[in-house]
Amino acid sequence: MADSPYGPWTRSDKPLIDVSDDAKAIDSLMTSNPSFTKMHDGRYLSVFKAVGKEFALPQGGPVVHGVAYGDSPTGPFTKLPKPVFLEEGVRFPAEDPYIWYQDGKYRAIVKKIEHIEGKRVFSLVHYDSEDGFDWHPAKHFEISKRIVEWEDGEVQQFDHLERPQVYIENGIPVALLCAADVIDENNVRHSFNIQIPLHIKKHQN
């Protein structure tokens, strides 16, 4: 924590959201990748990656997402036992959610993971929630199949387009920020960040 980005910084000696002692809990092996937002009632909401112990190490799993809330951004946090962003029969359905509150709903952009013809295929999807705890696919669920149209009209298919972040000005999302990469003709991987302008349509969920 710090009062300024320039510091001085203090570091907690324990995780804000730690693993659960119950071996059957969804986060008995690991917690990581938390996303936070301030709730409309002043509390703080977190959605975090949770890894259980149902499957053998070193992978463990399943890999799901849990929800926690607290009165302060530094906790303590109360975790809910129900995982979110699930896909039936999939051990690792999603990753890297970004959450925020807008127009009376909590919203999340999530990297969806599918297995198609033996390959992992990624896309970005949209969930929403009335209370921040119970999440459902939003009306406009599919956001991106990793395809970007540049200003000059060129259309590019990325290998990865992930770790979504939404840049918000005056309460309005104006850009989607993502980490991207491509592999060139020499099999060299190039990674970078892109910012995708958002066209806002009012009164649509």
User: Do 166 and 177 contact (CB within 8 A), yes or no?
Assistant: yes
Q: pLDDT for 164-177, tens place per residue?
A: 999 999 888 999 99
CA angle 3, 4, 7 (to 5 degrees): 95
The yes-or-no verdict on residue 114 having pLDDT over 90 is: no
Domains of the chain: 30-146 (2.115.10.20)
The answer to whether the pTM exceeds 0.95 is: no
Q: pLDDT for 13-42, tens place per residue?
A: 999 999 999 999 999 999 999 999 999 999
Neighbouring residues of 178: CB distance < 8 A, sequence distance ≥ 6: 124, 161, 162, 163, 164, 165, 193, 194, 196
The yes-or-no verdict on residue 204 having pLDDT over 80 is: no
Segment 86-100 mean pLDDT? 92
DSSP per residue, 5-30: TT------SS-SSPPPSSTTSTTSSE
Residue 116: pLDDT band with limits 50, 70, 90: confident
The yes-or-no verdict on residue 183 having pLDDT over 90 is: no
Within the chain, strands assigned E span: 30-38, 44-51, 63-70, 78-84, 94-102, 105-116, 119-129, 136-144, 147-149, 155-157, 160-169, 172-183, 189-197
* Mean of pLDDT over the chain: 92
β-bridge partners, 115: 120
Neighbouring residues of 19: CB distance < 8 A, sequence distance ≥ 6: 25, 27, 28, 29, 30, 31
DSSP at 205: -
d(CA 27, CA 9): 28
Residue 202: pLDDT band with limits 50, 70, 90: low
Neighbouring residues of 27: CB distance < 8 A, sequence distance ≥ 6: 19, 20, 48, 50, 51, 52, 66, 79
Residue 163: pLDDT band with limits 50, 70, 90: very high
- Could you tell me what percent of the chain has a pLDDT over 70? 97
User: Do 100 and 168 contact (CB within 8 A), yes or no?
Assistant: yes
Distance (Å) of CA 30 to CA 17, 33, 86, 92:
10, 10, 18, 14
Residue 137: pLDDT band with limits 50, 70, 90: very high
Segment 147-172 mean pLDDT? 90
The yes-or-no verdict on residue 7 having pLDDT over 90 is: yes
Instruction: Tell me how far the alpha carbon of residue 34 is from its chain's centroid.
Output: 8
